[in-house]
Amino acid sequence: MLMSVAALLLFSGCGTSPQPSGAQTAQSAGSKQEAAGSGVSGKLAFYTSQPEEDVTKLVAAFNKKYPDVKVDSFRSGTEEVTAKIQAENQAGKVQADVLLLADAVTFEGLKKQNLLAAYKSPELSKIPKELVDPDGMYSGTKVMATVLAINTQKVKTPPTSWKALVSAESKDAGIMPSPLYSGAAAYNVGVLTRTDGFGWDYFKGLKANNTSVVKGNGAVLNAVAGGEKSYSMVVDYLVAREKAKGSPVDLIYPSEGVPVITEPIGIMKNSANETAAKAFVDFVLSEDGQKVASDIGYTPIREGVPAPKGLKSISEFKVISSDIAKLTEARDEDKKQFTQLFGQ
């Protein structure tokens, strides 16, 4: 079904005040610290599903403001990052301080396990409240739609419907990411199988059309840009970024609507460096942090920061969504059913 963005997701983040300096000499040093990150320091373990190049740019921008924080990043697909967290939790201690992963369903699962810390960032006043977890466990950071992408050298008439992926024209020529690796893909399966006009019959049609399933969105885009495949289901920002480089790709927001994730950020409970973790969340949600996201090529979630060239803002397309609680409860079963259908 088509729903407003308010019904789409949940999310959140709270700020720490700069620590006061002491005597006159300390005051001078304190002023310098404040200008360079208010004295926030130490190590910060950052787990994310963002591409490595984007992680590097985000951390570099954060370190300009907080040079005394050493950020150690671990990145992989959302499902693999989540599996790492679960393994660490079973071993007795989650090593991550901050998570930035694909979708709200992932964070809802961690919230249910009591693995997240509540934090309401002062930056949330500029983030749409419907995209913030009411309990303060996580907040959306950007808007990422899954769209149709085509190789423009092979597809001369751009399609306007998701039906293109189950049509005779895309037989053996379609590709999509695996929900066993990609959080966005797992979210897409959950939403589309619960949407009128799609359901599991749509995925059976994808299978019958010999649609390829690969590990992540990056691999999907590479296959289309390289001409190995002509049609795909993939996140929008990757297509816009590749098109800007001159690759023969284009993206279409289908008429039926698109699933949208907001790549939430949250702090792990019992973080080893809560002060730095809060500073990181504040930065990502701040105007400066959102401009970094836009410069990288993402549609920002913060009010007043425009979408980058080639992408639509969330007000410009239809959103397909479903109840987050139901998606969270059904995710494992959805992945199991997908595996049975595609034999992954």
Identify which has the larger pLDDT, 161 or 35.
161
How do residues 217-276 score in pLDDT, each as one tens digit?
999 999 999 999 999 999 999 999 999 999 999 999 999 999 999 999 999 999 999 999
Mean per-residue pLDDT, 32-40 = 60
At residue 8, the pLDDT reads: 46
Predicted pLDDT at 36: 56
pLDDT tens for 288-304 read: 999 999 999 999 999 99
Query: Given this model, what pLDDT does residue 314 score?
Result: 84
Region 132-137: what's the mean pLDDT?
A: 96
**Is residue 58 within 8 Å of 292, Cβ to Cβ?**
yes
Percentage above 70 pLDDT, the chain:
89
Proportion of the chain in helix, strand, coil states, percent, rounded to 5: 45, 20, 40
- Whether the CA torsion 40, 43, 48, 52 is positive or negative: it is positive
pLDDT at 237: 95
User: What is the rounded CA–CA span in Å between residue 104 and residue 13?
Assistant: 14
Q: Are 293 and 286 in contact (CB under 8 A)?
A: no
Query: Mean pLDDT, to the nearest integer, of 107-134?
Result: 96
- Give me the pLDDT at residue 38, please: 67
Across the chain, mean pLDDT equals 90
pLDDT in tens, 58-99: 999 999 999 999 999 999 999 999 999 999 999 999 999 999
Average pLDDT over residues 19-29: 39
